């Protein structure tokens, strides 16, 4: 058995390689997400059935509705994200998408009644400054590109997914992941069906990978999504919350590294500086909230919590 730390780090590296693997598949963004959610959902059915085999959220209509809605938002978010991958590259799209956690922090006073501390405000400002450095040149030359717009739309939908998921009470991590992935698959299938005039056969034909794309498509669905979620959810209950939060930022950094090594994407020095500001600002904003929560927490030990994994 892998130790929890190794399982968690392996899951983060798998999530970070999503964009690089998707870049090897010659399909549209919607078709890639459709395959990923279908294969990932089927893969997670096995450990779920072995672990318990019944959906606890069925006893709570509110919990089920929130999980389904969050899964729908996740599916739409992934469609925008994978389109951004194809438009502006994995590195740029990842950084735009990583504004999602910052948006959650920004709306938390209205949605969750949390206090927006100076450290959080400072972290948000640093992220915005980083985004200006990363995309400033492109904005000056031709305004906001469709790729950047898709990345920011994916970030906004990610924030919606997190808000809905946090409000859903009564389901554990593996069950959440399975329900959200299944809802994502249904959402993406419905969107693609509408685009093809509700011709199911046309949707199936469009999503069939060529022989050369079959291996990366299966890898994305089985390994990156199914196995990645399983490793993630089976490890975080055994890790301290601080470890989960700090190590979680390996995902966007590894995404940039994989894009450079496997897809040969390159960034200028000013864009690399902006990338560090985006990741560092997001980390500072989130970790400041965790430190305040730890300071205010009674001495009685509490179970570890973790950030939402459905960003992947």
306 in any annotated domain? no
Q: Is the pLDDT of residue 204 over 60?
A: yes
Contact status, residue 225 vs residue 181, Cβ threshold 8 Å = yes
Give the range among 18-22, 68-72, 165-169, 304-308 with minimum mean pLDDT.
304-308
305 in any annotated domain? no
202 in any annotated domain? yes
Question: Alpha-carbon distance 165 to 77, whole Å?
Answer: 14
pTM beyond cutoff 0.85 = no
Local confidence band at 242 (pLDDT 50, 70, 90 cut-offs): low
186 in any annotated domain? yes
Rg, C-alpha atoms of the chain: 19
H/E stretch holding 79:
helix 61-88
- Residue 158 phi, psi (nearest 5): -60, -45
Instruction: Kindly report, residue by residue over 179-188, the tens digit of the pLDDT.
Output: 889 999 999 9
Instruction: Print the domain residue range for 169.
Output: 4-291
Instruction: Kindly report, residue by residue over 33-77, the tens digit of the pLDDT.
Output: 999 999 889 888 888 888 766 777 888 888 899 999 999 999 999
137 vs 70: which has the higher pLDDT: 70
**What number is the average pLDDT over the span 251-280?**
82
**Residue 144 carries which DSSP code?**
S
Long-range pairs for 303-306 at CB < 8 Å and ≥24 separation? 303/237, 304/236, 304/237, 304/238, 304/239, 304/240, 304/241, 304/244, 305/241, 305/244, 306/236, 306/239, 306/241, 306/244, 306/245, 306/248
Local confidence band at 310 (pLDDT 50, 70, 90 cut-offs): very low
**Residue 222 Cα distances to 3, 63, 218, angstroms:** 21, 27, 6
189 in any annotated domain? yes
- Category of 289 on φ-ψ map: left (φ > 0), alpha (ψ -120 to 50) or beta: alpha
300 in any annotated domain? no
**What number is the average pLDDT over the span 261-276?**
81
131 in any annotated domain? yes
Residues 133-167: b if buried by 16+ CB within 10 A, e if exposed = bbbeebeeeeeebebbbbbbbbbbbbbbbbbbbee
304 in any annotated domain? no
204 vs 239: which has the higher pLDDT: 204
The average confidence (pLDDT) of the chain is 80
Domain total of the chain: 1
**What number is the average pLDDT over the span 214-233?**
87
Contact status, residue 82 vs residue 264, Cβ threshold 8 Å = no
């Amino acid at each position: 058995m892998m130790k929890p730390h190794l399982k968690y780090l392996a899951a983060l590296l798998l999530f970070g390689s999503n964009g690089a693997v998707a870049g090897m598949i010659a399909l549209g963004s919607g078709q890639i997400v459709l395959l990923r959610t279908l294969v990932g959902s089927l893969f997670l059915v096995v450990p779920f059935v072995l672990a318990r085999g019944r959906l606890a959220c069925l006893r709570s209509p509110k919990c089920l509705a929130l999980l389904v809605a969050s899964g729908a938002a996740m599916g739409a978010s992934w469609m925008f994200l994978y389109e951004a991958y194809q438009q502006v590259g994995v590195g740029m799209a990842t950084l735009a998408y990583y504004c999602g956690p910052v948006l959650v922090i920004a709306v938390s006073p209205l949605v969750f009644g949390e206090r927006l501390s100076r450290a959080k405000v400072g972290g948000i400002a640093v992220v915005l400054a980083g985004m200006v450095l990363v995309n400033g040149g492109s904005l000056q030359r031709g305004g906001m590109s469709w790729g950047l717009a898709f990345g920011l739309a994916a970030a906004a939908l990610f924030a919606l997914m997190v808000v809905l998921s946090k409000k859903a009470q009564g389901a554990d991590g593996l069950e959440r992941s399975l329900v959200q992935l299944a809802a994502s698959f249904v959402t993406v299938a419905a969107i693609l069906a509408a685009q093809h005039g509700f011709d199911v056969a046309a949707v199936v034909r469009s999503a069939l990978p060529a022989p050369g794309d079959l291996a990366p498509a299966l890898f994305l669905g089985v390994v990156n999504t199914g196995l990645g979620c399983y490793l993630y959810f089976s490890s975080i209950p055994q890790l301290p919350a601080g470890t989960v939060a700090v190590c979680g930022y390996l995902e966007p950094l590894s995404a940039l590294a994989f894009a450079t090594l496997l897809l040969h994407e390159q960034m200028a020095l000013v864009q690399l500086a902006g990338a560090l500001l985006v990741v560092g600002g997001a980390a500072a904003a989130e970790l400041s909230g965790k430190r305040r929560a730890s300071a205010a927490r009674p001495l009685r030990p509490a179970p570890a919590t973790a950030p939402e994994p459905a960003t992947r």
